[in-house]
Amino acid sequence: MGGNDYILPVLPDYNRLLLPYLEAENSGLAGLLKSFMARLFPSSASLIELPSAPLSNELLTSFRGWINAKLPSPSMATTAFISTYLDDIGGEALVKGQRPEPGQMPQAGQWFLHVSFEDAGGTAEISSLVACHWMDIWWRENKTKIGREILAPHGVWPSDPDESPARYGLFFPVDKFGYALYLPPGKEIKTPEGNLSFMLDGWLEDYHSPEETAEIHRSLKSGVPVQLSEGKCLCQLCAESA
């Protein structure tokens, strides 16, 4: 699955999560398949992806609820982002890490919670970046509560995450087209008509007429909000907390 991940360092509970997984993996046909795959793909044999569907469901449901509470009056761009992306594609949380040596406990820096937001074959790249950006804001505002009420009950513990905010880009609203990604000088897209300082999701053309799409591109080519060049994100979450 292509897309973007929001990644948090974690530690899985050895007795509750890792040991049962390893015991099941080494038994019967599963053990034979593991041995066979390890010979075919030696590098992949060192990686483990723990079953985490209940954790994923609870985490993303809570994230979605936080957005509703944080933005009781969503803008047109936010409504478009939620209806055409979060509610349609959403995401998935997975616990991944390095296979420990026999008898060894999970090590910090080797295990991570990946919250993956699909990009729908590259056509929803910008929305997946916005989702990661908002997940980062949610985590930094509520990490103690999320760790205690969501992660820990599922046997996953935050492991001293980096305190510097993750940067997924600067975004600005484009009404019913959702959010656009700002491309700073030097990273613009070169076209025969000139350089473009923005990117939109490719699939938005499926939701709007060719005339609407052409009009929004014409308006954006005339310039993007000046605050972006000052390093300010203009998504609704950032704009309302400024």
In whole angstroms, give the CA distance from residue 71 to residue 2: 28
Its domain, for residue 195, covers 171-241
Task: Mark which of 158, 185, 214 sits at the end of a domain.
Answer: 158
- Asked if the structure places residue 85 within a domain, the reply is no
Same domain, 28 and 70: yes
Encoded tokens for 194: 């000139």
Residue 133 has, within 13 A of its CA and on its CB side, a CA count of 21
Same domain, 185 and 104: no
E strand or H helix that includes residue 226: none
Instruction: Please tell me the predicted confidence (pLDDT) of residue 116.
Output: 95
In whole angstroms, give the CA distance from residue 122 to residue 223: 25
Closest listed residue to residue 93, CA positions, set 66, 124, 118: 118
Task: Kindly give the confidence (pLDDT) of every residue in the chain, 242 residues in length, as a single tens digit, with 9 standing for 90 and above.
Answer: 578 999 999 999 988 888 888 887 765 544 444 444 444 444 445 788 888 899 999 999 999 999 999 999 999 999 999 998 998 888 999 999 988 877 778 887 889 999 999 998 888 999 999 999 999 999 999 999 999 999 999 999 988 656 666 689 999 999 888 999 999 888 888 877 677 788 889 877 677 777 877 777 777 777 788 899 899 999 999 999 87
φ and ψ at 41, to 5 degrees?
Answer: -130, 80
Three-state DSSP at 182 gives strand
Same domain, 189 and 101: no
Same domain, 145 and 195: no
Same domain, 40 and 140: yes
Same domain, 18 and 39: yes
- Asked if the structure places residue 214 within a domain, the reply is yes
For the chain, how many structural domains are there in total? Answer: 2
